[in-house]
Amino acid sequence: MRKISEECGVFGIWSPERKPLPFMAYYALLALQHRGQEASGIALNDDGIIRYHKGLGMVDRVFNREELEKLGEGQIVVAHNRYSTTGMPIPNNAQPIVVRHSKGNMALCHNGNLVNTYQLRTALENEGCIFHSTTDTEVIAYLITKERLHCGSIEEAVAGMAAKIEGAYSLVVMSPTKLIAMRDPHGFRPLCYGVMEDGSVVVASESCALDAVGATFIRDVKPGEMIVIDGNGIRSDERYCGKTETSHCIFEYIYFARPDSVLDGISVHHARIEFGKYLAKDHPVDADVVVGVPDSGLDAALGYSMESGIPYGIGLLKNKYIGRTFIAPGQEEREKLVRIKLNPIAETVRGKRVVLVDDSIVRGTTSKRIVRLVREAGAKEVHMRISAPPFQNPCYYGTDIDSREHLIACQHSVEETAKIIGADSLGYMDLGHALEVVQRNCPGRGYCTACFSGNYPTEVPPEGAKSRFEEKIRKEKS
């Protein structure tokens, strides 16, 4: 069950010929919808002219055929799905950001969070810059623009900008003639590229978006690498590669990414199966059926079943028609109406000892409800297994985890938590084992585990900086 805010999805195509690329971008955004559902946008470059459309809401709310047709044809397109990890959902924060600067038009799409935004923004304001949004992305746009004044090319300006920012960024930039993709040296957020039969080059947050548009996956963008695509082909600039150890976000594998994506060489589905197997090894239990909480607990449940030999069962049905516009019942009815979104299949759990596998516990309230549902459907025992280690720390790289005071794992022991959620037993994923899974074929590769371990791979913003900035942000709303 989704209990954590998603982040963003970025996408871009460079095509050797003028084409109705916004349609391709639309299909790609649908494939990346799980990464952000608050706003979406597409910007097209038609011979130096940028046309764009963006708005609050999911892709199919923001775009219809007419809007896509109005964007027309061009050679480059960039697109973005947004989940606002900073501030409120306001129209000005939707991406791509499209600006005009001294050397022409530019559009930017960004996934991730910088850790030195506040300093950079203050410095820019002190030079007389004005901000229309509250996003990191507008800071990046200014830095590129300032660099561009004395750089010979947009790619040099992007490289110059990269020397100044720190934190997580998977970035797609469109200039009048180029498509540029850049990933921060830590490689926090995923970014990959592929090619199409007609010679088009496609960049995307996840490989599933390449699949959606019929592109063939070539490889991940390397941490620190900048890829420049234009009429002269694809060039790689590795000047920032290897400057630091990589720290890929391990939570992408646990929860964010789509199971059919392959990130940095590792299949998300495979990783989840393996997480489930370790869960079975580390937290075995005598039971009759293993049930995954849809959608993101299903893979690990299957892994648990494989390893333990306990049969896999389909025991919870998620109502797929409940979307963002769902009118939730009032508090007093909510207790009764838990089964609107998720209904147990009594046939599967009745009279059984059930292993229930979910991807995370945040506050514990959802888990408590699900355990009760399964019990009411007749389960004799409910053993909860979580395919992630306990959340105990904030993330500064683009994930919106609840504050410590609400995180059940910060307040309670595993035993207490089991009691609170009403489970007969509870087992979390062991962080070491999780790392083992994602390092198996690439020994020594670094991962960011800060939300679990508290080990931050970068300096983090000064205490309170974020909240002070967010207080300022809070003050504006469209």
Minimum CB separation of residue 210 from a copy of itself in Å reads 9
| One of 1, 10, 21, 50 touching a copy of itself (CB under 8 A) | 50
Short-list 178, 115, 191, CA closest to 144: 178
**Is-catalytic flag, 192?**
no
Residues 8 to 27 in contact with a copy of itself, rule: CB under 8 A: 23, 26-27
| One of 128, 233, 443, 464 touching a copy of itself (CB under 8 A) | 128
Strands in 67-114 per DSSP E: 74-82, 97-101, 104-111
| One of 5, 343, 392, 453 touching a copy of itself (CB under 8 A) | 343
Structure-token pair, residue 177: 């003639």
Q: Is 348 in the site for a copy of itself (CB under 8 A)?
A: yes
Total residues in contact with a copy of itself, by rule CB under 8 A: 90
Short-list 221, 259, 247, 149, CA closest to 447: 247
| One of 2, 17, 18, 49 touching a copy of itself (CB under 8 A) | 49
d(CA 78, CA 203): 9
Minimum CB separation of residue 138 from a copy of itself in Å reads 8
Q: Is 131 in the site for a copy of itself (CB under 8 A)?
A: yes
Comparing CB distances to a copy of itself, the nearer of 48 and 432 is 48
Comparing CB distances to a copy of itself, the nearer of 267 and 365 is 267
Residues 199 to 228 in contact with a copy of itself, rule: CB under 8 A: 208, 211-214
Minimum CB separation of residue 55 from a copy of itself in Å reads 9
Structure-token pair, residue 344: 């147990």
Minimum CB separation of residue 28 from a copy of itself in Å reads 9
Minimum CB separation of residue 316 from a copy of itself in Å reads 8
d(CA 62, CA 42): 10
Q: Is 415 in the site for a copy of itself (CB under 8 A)?
A: no
Over its C-alpha atoms, the chain yields an Rg (Å, rounded) of 23
Structure-token pair, residue 122: 């203050």
Residues 56 to 75 in contact with a copy of itself, rule: CB under 8 A: 58-60, 63-65, 68
Residues 291 to 320 in contact with a copy of itself, rule: CB under 8 A: 295, 298-299, 302, 306, 311-314, 317, 319-320
Comparing CB distances to a copy of itself, the nearer of 353 and 406 is 353
Judged by DSSP in three states, 308 sits in helix
Comparing CB distances to a copy of itself, the nearer of 100 and 440 is 100
d(CA 172, CA 413): 43
The residue count for the chain: 478
d(CA 251, CA 35): 13
Q: Is 265 in the site for a copy of itself (CB under 8 A)?
A: no
| Residue 114: C-alpha distances to residues 28, 120, 397 (Å) | 25, 10, 7
| Sign of the C-alpha dihedral computed for residues 277, 283, 285 and 290 taken in this order | negative
Comparing CB distances to a copy of itself, the nearer of 377 and 382 is 377
**Cβ neighbours of 88 (radius 10 Å):** 14
Buried residues in 28-62 as b, exposed as e (16+ CB within 10 A) = bbbbbbbbbbbbbbbbbbbeeebebbbebbbbeeb
Q: Is 256 in the site for a copy of itself (CB under 8 A)?
A: no
Residues 132 to 171 in contact with a copy of itself, rule: CB under 8 A: 132, 134, 141-142, 145-146, 149
Minimum CB separation of residue 448 from a copy of itself in Å reads 23
Question: Which residue in the block uniquely carries the two structure tokens 């850049």?
Answer: 182
Minimum CB separation of residue 111 from a copy of itself in Å reads 18
List beta partners, residue 428: 386
Stretch touching a copy of itself by CB under 8 A, among 97-105, 111-119, 379-387, 431-439: 97-105
Contact 421, 455 (CB under 8 A): no
Kindly list the catalytic residues. Answer: 8
